[in-house]
Chain A
Amino acid sequence: MKPINQMNLRVESRSVNESFARAAVAAFVSQLDPNVEEISDIKTAVSEAVTNCIVHAYADSVGEIYIWTGLYENGLIRIRIRDKGCGIPDVKKAMEPLFTTSGDERAGLGFAVMESFCDKIKVRSTIGKGTTVTLEKRLEGRDCRND
Chain B
Amino acid sequence: MALKITSTPVRLVIEISGEIDHHNAAVFRIEADEAIQKYLSPNVRIDFGGVTFMDSSGIGFVMGRYKLAKSCGANVEVINLSRRIYSMMRLAGLEKFMTLKMSNKEGK
Is A107 within 8 A of B56, CB to CB? yes
Secondary structure at the B interface, as helix, strand, loop or mixed, is helix
CA distance A44 to B88 in the complex (A): 11
The stretch that binds B, out of A15-23, A62-70, A83-91, A138-146, is A15-23
For the A-B complex, the count of residue pairs with Cβ-Cβ distances under 8 Å equals 63
Name the distance in Å between A114's Cβ and chain B's nearest Cβ. Answer: 9
Please, how many residues of chain A have a CB less than 8 angstroms from a CB on the other chain?
A: 23
CA distance A109 to B92 in the complex (A): 8
Please, how many residues of chain B have a CB less than 8 angstroms from a CB on the other chain?
A: 23
Q: Which residues of A contact B53 (CB under 8 A)?
A: 22, 40, 43-44, 47
Q: Is A55 an interface residue (CB 8 A)?
A: yes
Is B22 within 8 A of A54, CB to CB? yes
Q: Which residues of A contact B21 (CB under 8 A)?
A: 15, 18-19, 22, 47, 51
Residue of A with least CB distance to B83:
A37
Give B residues with C-beta under 8 Å from A: 19, 21-26, 29, 53-57, 59-61, 63-64, 67, 84, 88, 91-92
The contact sample of 29 A-B pairs, CB cut-off 8 A, is A15-B21, A15-B22, A19-B19, A19-B21, A19-B23, A19-B24, A22-B21, A22-B53, A40-B53, A40-B84, A44-B53, A44-B55, A47-B21, A47-B55, A48-B55, A51-B55, A51-B56, A104-B63, A104-B64, A105-B29, A105-B57, A105-B61, A107-B60, A109-B59, A109-B92, A110-B56, A112-B91, A113-B56, A116-B91
Give A residues with C-beta under 8 Å from B: 15-16, 18-19, 22, 37, 40, 43-44, 47-48, 51, 54-55, 104-107, 109-110, 112-113, 116
